Amino acid sequence: MNLLSVKNLTVHTEQPSGSINILDNLSFGLEPGKSLGVVGESGCGKSMMAFSIMGLLPDNMIASGEIQFGGDLLSLPEKELCKIRGNRIGMVFQEPMTALNPVLPIGFQVAESLRLHKNLSRHQAQKQASKVLDRVGLPSQNFSRSLYPHQLSGGQRQRVVIAIAMVCKPELIIADEPTTALDVTIQEQILALISELVEEENMALILITHDLGVVAENTDLMLVMYAGRIVERGPTNKVFENLAHPYTRGLFASIPDSENPEAVQGLQSEFSPKNRLSTIPGRVPEFWELSKGCAFYGRCSRAQAKCSSEFPDEIRLTLGHSAACFFPFEQNQ
Ligand SMILES: Nc1ncnc2c1ncn2[C@@H]1O[C@H](COP(=O)(O)OP(=O)(O)O)[C@@H](O)[C@H]1O
Ligand SMILES: [Mg+2]
């Protein structure tokens, strides 16, 4: 039984050039307690997917389809969504400074969520908030609850954001590039903290990243997005055993060796040393450039005539693993 079921989610917006689909017919499910990695280059629609789930899409975007989470979130009025956001769905974004209120003490900000959603007294909420701040690595002996966000480092601020996201014990956490704005040395610690907390509380996690290595190390399942569509999906270990879509292979090939986690090291023989540090040639097409064929056509070394004229539906490769490619698994040239 899924905790979250996204069905045919399409998000469109009007541009001077006409109507474009920022997200095109996304469907996926997530069971309670499972972690889902969503990976793709910048501009692929990862954040818009997260914003759709949380009802936070920009005003000029219109979502259709269904997002089942108890009921259909897309048809809930804002007042009902407010009861879910921060309570049943916790959020961690890329930039902690924008997620936090600069003029309120950190203890207050964590407690506020409890007061809003759990109806606790001020004292109870403060006590509970302090415990959660302890748990995310900000013990009260060293980090007064009356500190302001600007008095903390970037990593510490992100710990506060994580505390706010977790304090109501949501069923689902959505973390959108939670470490992209942090120093490399801090990134691992923050990811480890998120993974530990999600496991402890048996929360489901959607971890959005442009880094395939992060997905390999932290998730049970994964989706690869390209130009607003899902191009490959499956249990993370299965996808890494057999990267099928040329786009996923390209993402993999652009991970520097030193960052390749063990899970992907065994696969390196599939790529020539020349390719290993390469980045994918070209760029993500603008939405108005998409034609009726595969969106990756212009950058793909395997592309054939068919790819430019027909859109490849997802095909099932092994149980749970599928890719939207006419020529999956073939080696890149
Ligand atoms: N307010 C907006 N109006 C129109 N297009 C937007 C807006 N915000 C983002 N986009 C476009 O939506 C696409 C998906 O963006 P986004 O979901 O932020 O990508 P990602 O998170 O994968 O980097 C991008 O092409 C971006 O230019
Ligand atoms: Mg984004």
Task: Give 141 Cα–ligand 2 centroid separation in angstroms.
Answer: 36
Average pLDDT over residues 290-299: 85
| Residues 203 and 249 both lie in one domain | no
Instruction: Please indicate, yes or no, whether residues 275 and 136 belong to a single structural domain of this protein.
Output: no
Is 235 among the domain residues?
no
Q: What is the mean pLDDT of residues 99-106?
A: 96
- Number of folded domains in the chain? 2
Indicate which atom in ligand 1 lies nearest the CA of residue 40: 22
pLDDT in tens, 127-142: 999 999 999 999 999 9
Residues 264 and 200 in one domain: no
Question: Is any ligand 1 atom within 6 A of the Cβ of residue 19?
Answer: no
Distance CA 40, CA 284 (A): 10
Boundary-marking domain end, from 210, 229, 252: 210
Q: What pLDDT digit, counting tens, does each position of 131-176 carry? A: 999 999 999 999 999 999 999 999 999 999 999 999 999 999 999 9
43 pocket-lining for ligand 1 (C-beta < 6 Å) = yes
**Amino acid (1-letter code) at residue 143:** F
Contact between 222 and 187 under an 8 Å Cβ cutoff? The reply is no
The whole-angstrom separation of Cα 108 and Cα 252 is: 42
Q: Within a domain: residue 86?
A: yes
Give the pLDDT of residue 17: 80
Task: Check residue 266 and give its pLDDT.
Answer: 46
User: Do both 203 and 137 map to the same domain?
Assistant: yes
Categorize the per-residue pLDDT at 98 as very low, low, confident or very high, splitting at 50, 70 and 90: confident
Question: What is the rounded average pLDDT of the residues 238-267?
Answer: 75
b/e burial code for range 67-83 (CB count within 10 A of at least 16 → b): bebeeebbebeeeeeee
With respect to residue 141, please indicate whether it lies within any of the assigned structural domains. yes
Which of 210, 225, 260 marks a domain boundary?
210
C-beta of 13 in contact with ligand 1 (< 6 A): yes
Ligand 1 within 6 A of CB of 45 = yes
Q: Does 170 reside within a domain?
A: yes
- Same domain? 180 vs 277: no
**Residue pair 163/133 in contact by the 8 Å Cβ criterion:** yes
Q: Is 60 in the pocket of ligand 1 (CB under 6 A)?
A: yes
Same domain? For 143 and 195 the reply is yes
Alpha-carbon gap, residue 271 to 154, rounded angstroms: 36
pLDDT mean over 102-121: 95
If asked whether residues 133 and 18 sit together in one domain, one would say: yes
Q: What is the pLDDT of residue 288?
A: 65
Asked whether residue 60 is domain-assigned, the answer is: yes
| Residue 301 pLDDT | 85
For residues 261 and 135, state if they share a domain: no
* 143 falls within a domain: yes
Question: 241 CA to middle of ligand 2, Å?
Answer: 27
Ligand nearest to the CA of 289: 1
Spatial separation of the C-alpha atoms in residues 110 and 90, rounded to whole Å = 12
Q: Are residues 112 and 256 in the same domain?
A: no
- Ligand 1 centroid – CA 42 distance (Å): 9
Mean pLDDT to the nearest integer, 18-27 = 93
Q: Domain containing 202: what range? A: 4-210
Asked if 194 and 246 sit in the same domain, the reply is no
Q: Which residues neighbour 81 within 8 Å (Cβ) at sequence distance 6 or greater?
A: 54, 55, 73
Decide if 66 is inside a domain: yes
CATH of the domain at 42: 3.40.50.300
pLDDT band at 261 (very low <50, low <70, confident <90, very high): low
CB 244 within 8 A of CB 321: yes
Same domain for 284 and 172: no
The two three-digit tokens of residue 154, written as one number:
């970037």
Do 135 and 270 sit in the same domain of this protein? no
Inside any domain, residue 236: no
pLDDT of residue 51: 96
